[in-house]
Amino acid sequence: MSFASVVKNEVSKLEKDDIYNISTLSAIIRLIGNTSDSIKIMTENASVARYVFKCFKTLFNINLKVTVRKGYNFNKNYIYILETKNKKETILKEVGLFNRNIPEEFIIGDEELIRSYLRGVFISVGSINDPKTSRYHLEFLVDNIEYANFLSDLLNNFDLNCKILNRDNKYMVYIKEAEKIGDFLRIIEASSALLYYEDIRIYRDHKNMTNRLNNCEQANVDKIINTAYEQIKDINTIKDLDLLGEKEKVVAYYRLKYPEASLLELSKIISMETGSSITKSGLYHRFKKINLLADRIRKSNVNKNE
């Protein structure tokens, strides 16, 4: 079972008052319902089908006709079709959809009603990647730009930073930020799914941070090795260390003795073994003098060869 199905199963089983079920049902009818001749709702999720059936029974005292059939083509899932021809106009008015693309204001009149409506949106057209197996992604695929903008505004009331993308004659309203997706699960009260999601997110964030630190550490090691290699090359170019001043002779000797030490480590070693304190910065300046002398020798050798 996909993670999206797990979330839909959970939120469709929440026990809510009639007023909130009306808002949830409004989104379901708008997004996966057909209201041309009757009210017909199609879903692949059995839990969602049970929720819809229960809502119609409780809210309108209607027993929906239920048909179950196999999915088309390679889709092996069952499709649940729930239909009624009774009280069609009354029902559409009750859910704020009579001759409307966007529901009436009373359906989303306060924050709790918006949360309920968003549950219905996710139940109908929501999709969320399993954080364990894929990138963070939450999306809703809707049929026109007016509704996409309406849904985007609802989501952004909660600062979810959602975006809209045109895709195959439909519009995808989506969220990519891991933290915002977690916030959405919290908004629709998918508590168990949220705990699972956050556990995985924390683990992945920790793993990514560890990898970044390891990469950073490796980069530092590579830098230390390359620096030491260049310094040793300069010392070998000079050959006659008597050409160096006394201070530069000391650092050249210790660099050859400790070829893998960083400048900080080398400064501590020299300070401890010679009894004469030297800082990392002081060590850098002495190696700079060695480098300048080595460059002059290399240029001189090039001129002789020419």
* Beta strands across the sheet bearing 170-175: 126-128, 138-142, 170-175, 163-167
User: Which tokens go with 18?
Assistant: 């009639």
Q: Domains of the chain (ranges plus CATH)?
A: 3-189 (3.10.28.10), 210-305 (no CATH)
pLDDT of residue 73: 59
**Residue 208 CA from chain centroid, whole number:** 12
Q: Which residue has the tokens 């003098």?
A: 289
pLDDT of residue 75: 60
Neighbours of 253 (CB within 10 A): 14
Q: In the chain, where does DSSP find H-type helix?
A: 3-12, 18-32, 46-60, 88-94, 111-125, 145-156, 178-187, 191-238, 246-257, 263-274, 280-305
Query: Under 8 Å CB-to-CB from 259, ≥6 apart: which residues?
Result: 228, 232
Instruction: Please give the chain's pLDDT, 306 residues, in tens.
Output: 889 999 999 999 999 999 999 999 999 999 999 998 899 999 999 999 999 999 999 999 999 999 998 776 566 678 999 999 999 999 999 999 998 899 999 999 999 999 999 999 999 999 999 888 768 899 999 999 999 999 999 999 999 999 999 988 899 999 999 899 999 999 999 999 999 988 888 877 766 677 777 777 777 777 888 888 888 888 888 877 778 888 888 888 888 888 888 888 888 888 888 888 888 888 889 889 888 888 888 887 776 666
Is the separation of the CB atoms in 22 and 57 below 8 Å?
no
pLDDT of residue 59: 94
pLDDT of residue 159: 94
Spatial CA neighbour of 45 closest among 13, 93, 19, 15:
13
